[in-house]
Structure 1
Amino acid sequence: MPSPKKTVVKCPTCQKEVVWGQESPFRPFCSKKCQMIDFGEWADEEKSIPGAPDMSDSDGWSEDC
Structure 2
Amino acid sequence: MNETPTPRTVRCPTCGGPARYAPDNRWRPFCSERCRQIDLGGWASERFRVPDPTPPDADAAGNPPALH
Q: TM-score, normalised by structure 2?
A: 0.68
Aligned residue number for residue 37 of structure 2: 36
Aligned residue number for residue 9 of structure 2: 8
User: 2-side partners of 1:45 and 1:20: how far apart?
Assistant: 26
> What is the count of residue pairs matched by the alignment?
62
Which protein has greater RCO, CA pairs closer than 8 Å, 6+ apart?
A: 1
Aligned residue number for residue 59 of structure 1: 63
User: 1-side partners of 2:41 and 2:25: how far apart?
Assistant: 21
User: Quick check: 1:45 aligned with 2:46?
Assistant: yes
After TM superposition, the runs of 4+ consecutive aligned structure 1 residues lying more than 4 A away are: none
Deviations 1:10-45 (A, max 9, x none): 111111111111121000111111111111111111
Question: Any stretches of 5+ residues in structure 2 without a counterpart?
Answer: none
Say what the alpha-carbon RMSD is for the aligned residues: 2.5
Question: Any stretches of 5+ residues in structure 1 without a counterpart?
Answer: none
Q: TM-score, normalised by structure 1?
A: 0.71
1:10-25 alignment to 2 at 5 Å? 10-25=11-26
